[in-house]
Amino acid sequence: MPATARATLAGLAPSDPPAMTASLRPLTALEARVVGVLVEKERTVPDSYPLSLNALVAGCNQKTSRAPLMEVADADVQATLDDLRALSLVVESSGSRVMRYAHNLPRVLGVPTEAAALVATLMLRGPQTPGELRINAERLHRFADLSSLEAYLAELADRPAGALVVELPRVSGARENRWMHLLCGPPAAGDARPAAASVAPDDGRIAALEARVAQLERDLHALAAATTRSTDAA
């Protein structure tokens, strides 16, 4: 863990929190959700990417693979898109009657797509252990092994331009430390606590279920895209 991150979490240097980058302000929770959704959908539903406003709102309000859950309106997401465009994190494209939006995360942060996949997964699902991250990020990038993923986390934590992730202190009873992103600022006191205890999941079953959800999303977005094209042609 970077020295600045350790100092902040230990309360030794509260005035000097781990910075993500000198040129990018901390994002709001909705801004992080919007960027995370764009990164996710670029990989999982490429035929519908860039996303329309309606598709982006649906992704933000999605009830699976999200923590915390959100319920936001079109106007909220549109205002957020305008702010993200000013930060160059989102680009707008046209070519039909529907405006579409794409992310620019790797270029703005100066990280490879593999690292961007990890940051996006943390933005969408909250703090996670490396093992959880490997499972949850698989649809965005398949890491060869856990050590490969941990190497990317270490690089993100030790960036000269400022840390983008931080390893949280291990809590009592936990077997692994969790990691969180810093795009919304340094950790709050509650971030060090794990999610409510539950029975250990069957990783293979979860992966299979998420693959089915991804296929359903692709089918749904393909149908929506076909309907849009038919409407435009008419």
Summarize pLDDT for 20-32 with one digit per residue, the tens. Answer: 555 799 999 999 9
Residue 56 has pLDDT above 60, yes or no: yes
Q: Which residues contact 123 (CB under 8 A, 6 or more apart)?
A: 32, 33, 35, 36, 181, 183
| pLDDT confidence of residue 5 | 38
Q: How far apart are CA 158 and CA 23, in angstroms?
A: 17
Query: Around Cβ 197, how many Cβ atoms within 10 Å?
Result: 8
Name the band, by pLDDT with cuts 50, 70 and 90, for residue 199.
Answer: very low
Q: Could you report the per-residue pLDDT of 117-132, keeping only the tens digit for each?
A: 999 999 999 999 999 9
This prediction has a pTM of 0.75
Average pLDDT over residues 110-114: 97
| Residue 180 near residue 18, CB atoms below 8 Å | no
Set out the domains of the chain in order of their start, with CATH numbers: 3-190+203-227 (1.10.10.10)
Q: Residue 46: is it exposed, middle or buried by C-beta count within 10 angstroms (0-12/13-18/19+)?
A: exposed
Residue 207 has pLDDT above 50, yes or no: yes
Please say if the pLDDT value at position 105 is more than 60: yes
